């Protein structure tokens, strides 16, 4: 019975982490909306600096693409290193296959980063 619980706990914890991320992102946006409403009700001047401060939380796309690429490539390298640490040859091939997906996603983000650099210049 304990062996069946391992994948169940893994997928439930992944779902909880994903739902927590969605919830806290929603909550941050709602707090920004409440701040907008409070400022409008008080008659505060909503200048461009104020709107940019409240609404512009994300970085430029190029920087975000590079960071995501590095994270996905680091995950792929970590899976490969785990494969080298496990003494079984079947585990190595499985982890290499598992590392192919994050590696490909990381390469795609690097390509998007390069395309963004060409567009800016």
Residue 3 lies in domain: 1-57
pLDDT tens digits along 30-85: 988 888 888 888 887 777 776 666 665 555 677 888 999 999 999 999 999 998 88
For residues 40 and 70, state if they share a domain: no
Among 5-14, 41-50, 97-106, 108-117, the range of highest mean pLDDT? 97-106
For residues 44 and 99, state if they share a domain: no
For residues 33 and 89, state if they share a domain: no
DSSP of 2-60, one letter per residue?
HHHHHHHHHHHHHHHHHHHHHHHHHHHHHHHHHHHHHHHHHT----HHHHHHHH--SPP
Which residue is associated with the tokens 């779902």?
15
For residues 63 and 118, state if they share a domain: yes
The predicted structure's pLDDT at residue 111? 92
For residues 42 and 75, state if they share a domain: no
Longest dimension (CA), the chain: 68
User: How many residues appear in the chain?
Assistant: 121
Single pTM value for the model = 0.58
Which residue is associated with the tokens 């939380």?
57
For residues 73 and 111, state if they share a domain: yes
């Amino acid at each position: 019975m304990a062996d069946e619980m391992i994948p169940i706990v893994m997928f439930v914890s992944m779902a909880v982490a994903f739902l927590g991320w969605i919830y806290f992102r929603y909550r941050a946006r709602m707090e920004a909306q409440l701040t907008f409403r409070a400022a409008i009700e008080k008659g505060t001047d909503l200048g461009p600096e104020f709107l940019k401060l409240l609404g512009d939380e994300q970085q430029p796309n190029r920087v975000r693409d590079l960071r995501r690429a590095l994270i996905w490539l680091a995950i792929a390298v970590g899976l490969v290193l785990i494969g080298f640490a496990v003494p079984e040859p079947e585990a190595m091939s499985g982890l290499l296959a598992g590392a192919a997906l994050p590696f490909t996603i990381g390469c795609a983000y690097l390509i998007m980063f390069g395309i963004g650099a060409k567009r800016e210049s």
